Amino acid sequence: MTVAIVLLALLGSAWLLAVIEGWMATGRLSPAAPLFRGLAHLGRESIVPRSPDRVFFEAAPVLLLVVAVLGMAVLPLAPDLIIADLGTGALFVNAALAYVLVAVIMAGWGPDGAYGMIGGWRFLGQLIAYSMLIVMPITAVAMRAESLVNTAIVGSQAGLWNIVYQPLGFVLFYIAAMALAFRAPFDLPSAEGELGGGVDAEYTGVRLAVLRLARLTLVVTLASATTVFYLGGWHGPLLPPWAWSLIKTLAVAVSMLLVGHYLPRIREADLMRWCWVLGIPLALLNIIIVGLLILVVP
């Protein structure tokens, strides 16, 4: 039952994001558009490029979808609405999302296309930039909760949300999450107009439909992770816990789309430089500040 509810919430959120994405792109609010676009993909020919690495080509979109769902499986919507409340939940989110890289590299290499391959390897460079900014803020979150269990992390924010307790960590995690989801302005692997779609370029038909769904699901999973780690998860007045989780998750996800809509794409070298020269020292500073707060404030 819990599995069905969480998957339904994930699918519903992905649909809502697709509607908003379409609204921002076309200026028309059409709730049925994602459904029709999905059906259209299913109806189109699913072209296989010449001499592909068939295993990678077929597996990549599915792997991306699976890791996004696996990440969501350990994030709680409410105290008892979680598929698996692992003892190492916060680490597991990381472990699942590390395979986004594997999926993107496979999607880049598989079709035997120049644009796709450049896109795939670009994401490897992007990982070198963002990965520390995912792990180190989560470390500080786990320090406060004194646990890697995600429900305990939400529980530790009952009095004060982490966005107030460690705002620096929130900013770093939010930026890194957008880079992980390769949304604009960090959409270097799929750069439209520059790489002609990059890793998406060679995918058509049903495979493209799965890839699109996977990318939207990934945004929802990362927004949910942001909610659990920084926005107090299910905590909130009046409404039931699951409603608060959903509202916060959707708000974060929509904010990611909006930020991406108004910012120009960043250069790979700039992203790397900013993440390493500024991001990692700030993340270390965040860990030190949180450590001091834990020691000083009872």
**Site residues (vs other proteins, CB under 8 A):** 51, 53, 55-56, 86-88, 91-92, 94-95, 98-99, 101-102, 105-106, 109, 112, 121, 124, 127, 131, 147-149
Query: At its nearest, how many Å lie between other proteins and the CB of residue 174?
Result: 21
Query: At its nearest, how many Å lie between other proteins and the CB of residue 127?
Result: 6
The nearer residue to other proteins, 95 or 269, going by C-beta atoms, is 95
Query: At its nearest, how many Å lie between other proteins and the CB of residue 207?
Result: 19
Residue 260: both structure tokens together: 């991406």
The nearer residue to other proteins, 105 or 219, going by C-beta atoms, is 105
The nearer residue to other proteins, 28 or 51, going by C-beta atoms, is 51
H or E stretch at 241: helix 241-262
The nearer residue to other proteins, 92 or 230, going by C-beta atoms, is 92
The nearer residue to other proteins, 140 or 250, going by C-beta atoms, is 140
Query: At its nearest, how many Å lie between other proteins and the CB of residue 126?
Result: 12
The nearer residue to other proteins, 48 or 206, going by C-beta atoms, is 48
- List Cα–Cα distances, 57 to 203, 231, 266, in angstroms: 9, 37, 28
The nearer residue to other proteins, 53 or 194, going by C-beta atoms, is 53
Query: At its nearest, how many Å lie between other proteins and the CB of residue 142?
Result: 10
Task: Tell me the three-class secondary structure of the chain, residue by residue.
Answer: CHHHHHHHHHHHHHHHHHHHHHHHHHCCCCCCHHHHHHHHHHHCCCCCCCCCCHHHHHHHHHHHHHHHHHHHHCCCCECCECCCCCCCHHHHHHHHHHHHHHHHHHHHHCCCCHHHHHHHHHHHHHHHHHHHHHHHHHHHHHHHHCCCCHHHHHHCCCCCCHHHHCHHHHHHHHHHHHHHCCCCCCCHHHCCCCCCCHHHCCCCHHHHHHHHHHHHHHHHHHHHHHHHHHCCCCCCCCCCHHHHHHHHHHHHHHHHHHHHHHCCCCCHHHHHHHHHHHHHHHHHHHHHHHHHHHHHCC
Strand partners, 78: 81
Query: At its nearest, how many Å lie between other proteins and the CB of residue 66?
Result: 13
Query: At its nearest, how many Å lie between other proteins and the CB of residue 25?
Result: 31
Secondary structure letter of residue 189 according to DSSP:
G
The nearer residue to other proteins, 19 or 102, going by C-beta atoms, is 102
Residues recorded for the chain: 298
Query: At its nearest, how many Å lie between other proteins and the CB of residue 86?
Result: 7
